[in-house]
Amino acid sequence: NAGVTQTPKFQVLKTGQSMTLQCAQDMNHEYMSWYRQDPGMGLRLIHYSVGAGITDQGEVPNGYNVSRSTTEDFPLRLLSAAPSQTSVYFCASSYSLATTPYGYTFGSGTRLTVV
């Protein structure tokens, strides 16, 4: 099925470990983004990309890196995991940064726990 695919669905990390959250979309969307969802905080933008080779920071970028080598993939890297990064992470994509009537398409999320 077409859409946004995130892997893994669950992950437990030890403090200081690094890992990459994967995100892939097969809708030929130019715009991709990463959000984190924390209780009482809603959806906060981490990083986004308006096309291959172009990335920019969102609201809460510290501790995360991204790259966009292809249109389809937008991985999120945690360089040195901290307990404050325990959260649910969502990848989203859209035809463009500018809002369409249907907004963004979201993946099903990755639940990350850092101990």
Partner 1 sequence: DQQVKQNSPSLSVQEGRISILNCDYTNSMFDYFLWYKKYPAEGPTFLISISSIKDKNEDGRFTVFLNKSAKHLSLHIVPSQPGDSAVYFCAASGESEKLVFGKGTKLTVNP
97 membership: H or E segment, kind and range:
none
> Helix, strand, coil proportions of the chain in percent (round to 5)?
5, 50, 45
Q: Which is nearer to partner 1, 17 or 106 (CB)?
A: 106
Q: Which is nearer to partner 1, 17 or 111 (CB)?
A: 111
Q: Which is nearer to partner 1, 36 or 85 (CB)?
A: 36
Q: Give the interface with partner 1 as residue ranges (CB under 8 A).
A: 4, 33, 35, 40-45, 48, 58, 90, 92, 97-99, 101-109
Least separation in angstroms between CB 80 and partner 1: 27
Neighbouring C-beta atoms of residue 68, cutoff 10 Å:
20
Least separation in angstroms between CB 69 and partner 1: 22
Least separation in angstroms between CB 26 and partner 1: 16
Q: Specify the 3-state DSSP secondary structure of 17.
A: coil
Q: Are 55 and 76 in contact (CB under 8 A)?
A: no
